[in-house]
Amino acid sequence: MSIDNGIRVAIVAGGSRGIGRAIVRRLAEQGYAVVVGYAGNADEAAAAVKEATAAGAAAFAYRADVADESAVAGMFAEAEARFGGVDVVLNLAGRLYLAPVAEMDLDEVDALHRTNIRGAFVVAREAARRVRRGGSITLFSTSVVGTYHLTYGAYAASKGAVEALSKTLAREMRGRDVNVNAIAPGPTATELFFEGKSDEVIDQLALANPLERMGEPRDIAELAAFLSSPEGHWVNGQVVRANGGMI
């Protein structure tokens, strides 16, 4: 049954953990109906839905590999069936693989590109076909595109593709009244980010920006909510490096 009564509807691919989960929570607080897209961890997705409903939002979780066009189309179709349409799409689903170029495992590179590049194109294509007028599409990059840290070659290259995609799509949406942007976070305090890093490395990264702290998922969620909102609609075709001023 549709609940389309003026409520804006958001799909957050990669919404079960970390920054994505913070975005789900923030959009729920702002009154959106939210679809939590996830790849594998049903418990985390259920917890994200529980947080959204506790904030008063209608929400459900949908399992979809972002690189699988049939699964992604199914997620959009379910959102339309339950909520009446889709207004906002954010894709945070991603994969990280670190290695010097000379030592790269090309199977790992292929897997990275499948999620980070193909997945971004699949979600963007479905969003471009279905998002309603006045809506918003936000893809996710990384501030490593620009800092070029050692061992991040494959990951940064995949996110460079996402930035090119977002800028091109913004222009292709002419006449649709849909803004398209990319957010490129810097180091952000998520469980995934902390994994495998020493306290010394974390402290160094925290001091790499003039604000001298790690980003918090809420910092990125506030930006994502703004870009998705009518108030942020004039921001279009941009890559926003949300990193506290890290160079």
N residues, the chain? 247
What pLDDT, in 10s, does the model give residues 203-236? Answer: 888 888 999 899 999 999 999 999 999 999 999 9
What pLDDT, in 10s, does the model give residues 71-84? Answer: 999 999 999 999 99
Per-residue burial over 115-136, b = 16 or more CB atoms within 10 Å of its CB, e = otherwise: bbbbbbbbbbebbbebbbeebb
Q: Is 155 a catalytic residue?
A: yes
Q: Quickly state the pLDDT bin for 192 (edges 50, 70, 90).
A: confident
pLDDT at 3 over 70: no
Q: Please, what is the angle between helix 106-113 and helix 153-172, to 10°?
A: 20
Task: Say what the pTM is.
Answer: 0.94
Backbone region of residue 182 per phi and psi (left: phi > 0; alpha: psi in -120 to 50; beta: other values): beta
Domain covering 9-242 assigned CATH 3.40.50.720 in the classification:
yes
Out of 62, 97, 152, 155, pick the active-site residue: 155
pLDDT at 159 over 60: yes
